Amino acid sequence: MNIYQQPSPKRLGVFRTRDLWLLGLQKRRKREKAMRNGSLNRIRRGWYALPDAHPDLVNAVRRRGALTGLSACKLYGLWTPHHDKLQVAVPDFVRCSFTLGATRRSLKTKLPCGIVPLDTALIHVAAYESTEVALIVFESALNKGYIRRDQAKELLENVSRTRAQKILARLISNSQSGSETRVRNYIQSLRFKVVAQAQIDNVGRVDLLVKPRLIIECDSRAHHTSAINYQTDRNRSNSALIRGYLTIRLTYEDVWSRWDNTKRWVRYLLQHRLHKWKNPAYSPMSSLTE
């Protein structure tokens, strides 16, 4: 199933020898001149890269494979959680020594040019990552319009039925970030009703609304927002407070570096029914500091 056009070698900056005609370098003499002046680099026998080719692509080709899983999805522009090891798909005959230090996946099709097709990368995510991570990546693909829900369902036929059902049961298309997906998924696991990208009169669109009155905003990036955005966020929180909504804001670090602690106090808020508070003049957060 081809759900997303495979990037061309020229776009990726990684070439087999037979593809070098795209650069006008099909003749050996021209290739050698390009390598001498630094406009072309040899990765390994039969493979070349432009100087600005992504290092992960070059690394994958050097390992006799192609990027897959989270590494590939990140390069395709999907929201992916941090992962330490490069994920590389290689043919079964490739020696293990070539993939030391990387996460190895089996490649059953013809070796692509540096990166597997998006459908293969998504299948590997669904098969090998946690259901939470798979949900994050699939929702990003849906939100960007790279796949449709029926295509997601078809891709998930390649994993166990139980795993596929868990992902599909919570899969939505309007999640704006992996942080938002992670928090929403946790709240749903506690059996509370939560709406993504809810529209609230005189406040605007919010990341998550735990009905009826708890707003949760999630930072999708590790970097701090600008002063203007910071002030805008606080103005929105104040507007929501006047209208009887309690707003909590989770930083990127809250969701990805301090997740266990964040889960504890989010659970505390919900179990003490602070999502149902009614009096804007009373701050239920005071009970947490007593």
Which residue range(s) make up the domain with 238? 175-272
Please tell me the predicted confidence (pLDDT) of residue 225: 56
Asked if residue 209 belongs to a domain, the reply is yes
Indicate whether 96 and 210 sit together in one domain. no
Last residue of a domain, one of 151, 167, 183: 167
Asked if residue 281 belongs to a domain, the reply is no
Which one, of 87, 122, 126, lies nearest residue 106 by Cα? 87
> Can you give the pLDDT of all 290 residues of the chain as single tens digits?
556 667 888 889 999 999 999 999 989 999 999 999 999 999 999 999 999 999 999 999 999 999 999 999 999 999 999 999 999 999 999 999 999 999 999 998 888 889 999 999 999 999 999 999 999 999 999 999 999 999 999 999 999 999 999 999 999 999 999 999 999 999 999 999 999 999 988 888 999 999 888 999 998 775 445 555 656 666 676 677 777 788 899 999 999 999 999 999 999 999 887 666 665 544 444 444 44
Please tell me the predicted confidence (pLDDT) of residue 5: 67
Indicate whether 95 and 214 sit together in one domain. no
Asked if residue 181 belongs to a domain, the reply is yes
Which one, of 159, 151, 115, 112, lies nearest residue 3 by Cα? 151
Indicate whether 188 and 239 sit together in one domain. yes
Strand partners, 15: 48
Beta-carbon neighbour count of residue 238 at 10 Å?
Answer: 12
Indicate whether 109 and 66 sit together in one domain. yes
Asked if residue 283 belongs to a domain, the reply is no
Indicate whether 115 and 13 sit together in one domain. yes
Indicate whether 154 and 61 sit together in one domain. yes
Last residue of a domain, one of 104, 139, 167: 167
Write down the H helix ranges in 9-54: 9-12, 28-36
Please tell me the predicted confidence (pLDDT) of residue 11: 86
236-242 contacts at long range (C-beta below 8 A, 24 or more positions apart): 236/203, 236/204, 236/206, 239/202, 239/203, 240/200, 240/203, 240/206, 240/215, 241/280, 242/280
Which one, of 245, 177, 182, lies nearest residue 210 by Cα? 245
Asked if residue 284 belongs to a domain, the reply is no
Please tell me the predicted confidence (pLDDT) of residue 181: 97
Contact 33, 24 (CB under 8 A): no
* Strand 214-218 to 204-210 pairing: antiparallel
Asked if residue 94 belongs to a domain, the reply is yes
Q: Give the number of domains in the chain.
A: 2
Q: What is the CATH number of the domain that holds 238?
A: 3.40.960.10
Indicate whether 182 and 160 sit together in one domain. no
Asked if residue 287 belongs to a domain, the reply is no
Residue 281: phi and psi, rounded to 5, are -80, -10
Which one, of 75, 80, 104, 77, lies nearest residue 92 by Cα? 104
Indicate whether 21 and 151 sit together in one domain. yes
Indicate whether 179 and 153 sit together in one domain. no
